[in-house]
Structure 1
Amino acid sequence: MRIDGTVALVTGGGSGLGAATARALAGRGARVAILDVNVGHGEAVASEIGGHFARCDVADPASAAEALASSRAALGTPGILVNCAGIGTAARVVGRDGPMPLDAFERVVRANLIGTFNMIRLVAAEMSVAAPGPNGGRGVIIATASVAAFEGQIGQAAYAASKGGIAALTLPVARELARFGIRVLTIAPGLFKTPLLAELPEETQAALASAIPYPSRLGEPAEFAQLVIAMIENDYLNGEIVRLDGALRMQSK
């Protein structure tokens, strides 16, 4: 799929993997809309790349619909959606204070899994009625899972479940949307130098990096964005989950 001139939506585009993806897409000539709950960060990235910003809570149907309407009015119908918005938490199923609060589990699943599906359903509906491209394609949707979807660690029950759900969505949604010429893909990143990890002490970052076979370092957000670009441009790639982790396999804790 051609990126130049295509409207691209990036959720969580105000920082980390999303910001790197937005910059990469803009660098390829896409018209980029940043969708984020953090207004300050989102507006800053949008201003930097000459894009559009819309505040968006991806798990809220009304907020997402308003953000899409704003982006459509400013840029046009989207041909690319990259879901990077998400949250993480650490809590044991049974901890010192008893069972994990159910609302803590629900909050993570709602933000990560339901938020991803909410954006997929809304954007796919818009893509499905757009004019097809030269090869019959109408769009590409990319979600962000995690290696925790496959090797969740102790304390990651909520996060692993939410990311595992995203991985499980990939093939059935790709099969369903194939008739519209919409491809659906997922990236499962390992340990990346996101704002959260970048704030950790150098020795902590080094300890995390030592578990990665090669290259033994945290991933750079630009490397995530590079894979997004490759996925969009390769028309034969569909319904696939790609690990981006330096051969990392997470231990139990």
Structure 2
Amino acid sequence: MNPSGIVAIVTGGGSGLGEATARALAAKGARLALFDVGMDRAEKVAGEIGGIAVKCDVSSAEGGEAAFAEAAERLGPARILVNCAGIAIAMKTVGKDGPHPLDLYRKVLEVNLLGTFNMIRLFAARAQNLDPLDGGERGVIVNTASVAAFDGQIGQVAYSSSKGGVVGMTLPVARDLARSGIRVCTIAPGIFRTPMMDGLPKEAQDSLGHQVPFPPRLGEPSEYAALACHIVENQMLNGETIRLDGAIRMAPK
């Protein structure tokens, strides 16, 4: 799909991987709606790329419906969805203070897994009714997992569970939506330079980067964005999870 002139929704679009992807799609001529809970940053990015910012809790059915309705009213129907919204916590299954709090585990799954599926289902329900483009294509969905889905480290049980679920849904959702001409792929990034990573000292960032076989550095959000754009543009990519990680395989800790 050529993104030029196409409406694209990016969740978590106010920062990190989402921001980079929104900027990259806008540079290719797409019209962007940035879904986020942090409106200050989302509005700033949207203003710089000529898009709009829409407040959205991705895990809320009602909030998601309202956000899609607002985006459609202001920009028109979307054909591209990139799911970048997510949260992470570090906590062992059983720690010195007792078992992993169930509410925290549930919260991570609600945002990362349920939130991703919520956005997918609402997007697809609208996109399936659009006129097909070249090759019968009506929409493209790009999800964000993590190498933690495969190489979860100590303390990542909630995060790894949620991202493993995103990987697991990729093929069946792609099969579900094939008859509607909607493609679905997932990117599983390794260690990337995100706002969370920027909070670490440079020495710690360098140490993490050197764990990557090649290139021995942190990934840049622009590299994630480039792959997301390629998925949008390459019609044969469907039902696949792509590791974007410099060949890293995470150690237990």
Q: TM-score, normalised by structure 2?
A: 0.99
Partner of 1:219: 219
Cα deviations by residue, 1:22-64 (Å, 9 ceiling, x for unpaired): 0000000000000000010110111010001100000011111
Partner of 2:113: 113
Cα deviations by residue, 1:7-28 (Å, 9 ceiling, x for unpaired): 0000000000000000000000
Amino acid at match of 1:250: M
C-alpha displacement of 1:199: 1.7
Any residues of structure 2 matched to 1:65-214 within 5 Å, and which?
65-214=65-214
Amino acid at match of 1:245: D
Any residues of structure 2 matched to 1:49-68 within 5 Å, and which?
49-68=49-68
C-alpha displacement of 1:174: 0.2
Partner of 2:26: 26
Q: How far apart in 1 are the matches of 2:171 and 2:135? A: 21
Count of aligned residue pairs for this structure pair: 253
C-alpha displacement of 1:159: 0.2
Q: Give the match's secondary structure for 1:183.
A: strand
Amino acid at match of 2:91: A
Is 1:35 the equivalent of 2:35? yes
Q: How far apart in 2 are the matches of 1:107 and 1:183? A: 28
Q: How much identity, in percent, do the aligned residues show?
A: 57
Q: How far apart in 1 are the matches of 2:30 and 2:64? A: 21
Q: Give the match's secondary structure for 1:135.
A: helix
Is 1:6 the equivalent of 2:6? yes
Amino acid at match of 1:7: V
Q: How far apart in 2 are the matches of 1:215 and 1:2? A: 30
Amino acid at match of 1:203: E
Q: Give the match's secondary structure for 1:109.
A: helix
Cα deviations by residue, 1:95-146 (Å, 9 ceiling, x for unpaired): 0011011001000000100000000000000000011102100000010000
Q: How far apart in 1 are the matches of 2:197 and 2:134? A: 42
Amino acid at match of 1:66: A
Cα deviations by residue, 1:209-239 (Å, 9 ceiling, x for unpaired): 1110000000000000000111111001100
Q: How far apart in 1 are the matches of 2:16 and 2:3? A: 21
Cα deviations by residue, 1:45-103 (Å, 9 ceiling, x for unpaired): 11010001100000011111111111000111110000000000000110001101100
Partner of 1:46: 46
Q: Which runs of 5+ in 1 are unaligned?
A: none
Q: Give the match's secondary structure for 1:85.
A: coil
Q: Give the match's secondary structure for 2:247.
A: coil
Q: Which runs of 5+ in 2 are unaligned?
A: none
C-alpha displacement of 1:6: 0.5
Q: How far apart in 2 are the matches of 1:108 and 1:85? A: 11
Q: How far apart in 1 are the matches of 2:84 and 2:99? A: 30
Q: Give the match's secondary structure for 1:185.
A: strand
Q: How far apart in 1 are the matches of 2:110 and 2:43? A: 24
Q: Give the match's secondary structure for 2:151.
A: coil
